[in-house]
């Protein structure tokens, strides 16, 4: 045990991640964790939101590394539990990611190795680093005010509709990228631009009809779409992408720009870097956070610089 970077690591595994593949491979994964990190406590989620509770309880029980074994949704819940402990979380524990999931967008944003062995080895060998998070105050689908933390990206408008459709379509168990692309096209056919009031940073509030507004701590969403190509996880700012109302043909011609990381070359797409954003609307506008459909406007979002200490990261984002 001499020389181990972490004293009490804990793994939180989503047994449904990658259509159950993470659970089937758990015996192999446990041996990898023990090879690089030593004995680990293993906890399995039982329902949506459960990883928040497990993460919080693990840190309060003395764990100094919480590894999310699953996709972006599992990692997001682990981070939410981590940040709910309080401002001292980064001083006492770190978060890691062993990627198994549909989208893999935080993995891309943060340079986490794709393969489990390399991802776990990176947690053991690379210096942990502080990255930002975003605190979002919004309305739940039931209408009550809630607070949620975002580690990668959040969006409102069409993104909230896509997040729901991507989990429910026939491609979700086959291809994360395919599922999100199919959901994006299907949602676009049904979606109509929403009128919103935006207040970004110190700028005056503006009224705009939007297809989507993305808040980027990281770069990617939707299985590899570079929606916020200039975002960096440790910049102390949110990269905000505003997509104004566009037609079907324009949308179809623009999808390639998302995957190429050149979305800002489109005349209907604008970006602003800021520490805060607020949005309201007289119509229902859905919000997704780290790929999960969470609630609706109104929204207030604020960056939390250096709020999360993470193990195993490579580069800080960007296509």
- Predicted pLDDT of residue 174: 47
Q: Where are the alpha helices (DSSP H) in the chain?
A: 21-24, 26-37, 50-60, 72-84, 89-92, 105-110, 116-125, 158-168, 176-190, 248-260
- Predicted pLDDT of residue 75: 97
Residue 170 pLDDT class (50, 70, 90 cuts): very low
Two tokens at 157?
């408008």
Q: Helix 158-168 and helix 176-190: axis angle, to 10°?
A: 130
Q: Which domains does the chain have, with CATH numbers?
A: 9-132 (3.40.50.10330), 133-306 (2.60.200.40)
The pTM of this model reads: 0.90
Instruction: Look at 21 and 317; give whichever has higher pLDDT.
Output: 21
Among residues of the chain, what percentage have pLDDT more than 70?
Answer: 86
Cα–Cα dist 184/252, whole Å: 10
| Tens digits of residue pLDDT in 113-164 | 999 999 999 999 999 999 999 999 999 999 999 999 999 999 999 876 676 6
Mean pLDDT of 159-186: 57
- Predicted pLDDT of residue 127: 93
Q: What is the DSSP letter of 43?
A: E
Cα–Cα dist 227/22, whole Å: 28
Mean pLDDT of 46-64: 96
| Tens digits of residue pLDDT in 204-221 | 999 999 989 999 999 998
Backbone angles phi, psi at 29, to 5 degrees: -65, -40
Closest residue by Cα to residue 313 from 115, 95, 140, 34? 95
Answer yes or no: are the C-beta atoms of 220 and 101 closer than 8 Å: no
């Amino acid at each position: 045990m001499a020389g181990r970077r972490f004293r009490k690591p804990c793994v939180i595994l989503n047994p449904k991640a990658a259509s159950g593949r993470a659970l089937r491979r758990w015996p192999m994964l446990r041996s990898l964790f023990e090879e690089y990190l030593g004995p680990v406590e293993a906890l399995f989620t039982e329902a949506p939101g459960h990883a928040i509770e497990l993460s919080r309880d693990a840190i309060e029980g003395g764990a100094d590394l919480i590894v999310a074994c699953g996709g972006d949704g599992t990692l997001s819940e682990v981070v939410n539990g981590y940040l709910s402990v309080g401002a001292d979380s980064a001083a006492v524990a770190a978060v890691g990611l062993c990627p198994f999931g549909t989208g893999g967008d935080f993995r891309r944003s943060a340079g986490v190795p794709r393969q489990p062995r390399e991802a776990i080895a990176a947690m053991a060998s690379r210096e942990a680093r502080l990255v930002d998070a975003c605190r979002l105050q919004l309305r739940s689908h039931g209408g009550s005010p809630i607070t949620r933390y975002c580690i990668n990206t959040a969006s409102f408008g069409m993104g909230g509709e896509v997040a729901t459709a991507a989990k429910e379509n026939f491609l979700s168990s086959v291809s994360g990228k395919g599922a999100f692309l199919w959901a994006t096209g299907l949602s676009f056919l049904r979606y109509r631009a929403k009128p919103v009031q935006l207040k970004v940073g110190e700028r005056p509030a503006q009224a705009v009809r939007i297809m989507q507004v993305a808040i980027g701590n990281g770069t990617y969403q939707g299985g590899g779409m570079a929606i916020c190509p200039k975002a960096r996880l440790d910049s102390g700012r949110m990269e905000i992408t505003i997509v104004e109302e566009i037609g079907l043909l324009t949308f179809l011609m623009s999808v390639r720009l998302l995957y190429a990381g050149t979305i800002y070359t489109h005349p209907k797409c604008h970006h602003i870097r800021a520490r805060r954003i607020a949005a309201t609307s007289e119509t229902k506008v859905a919000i997704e956070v780290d790929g999960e459909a969470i609630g609706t406007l109104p929204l207030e979002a604020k960056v939390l610089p250096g709020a999360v200490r993470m193990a195993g990261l490579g580069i800080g984002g960007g296509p």
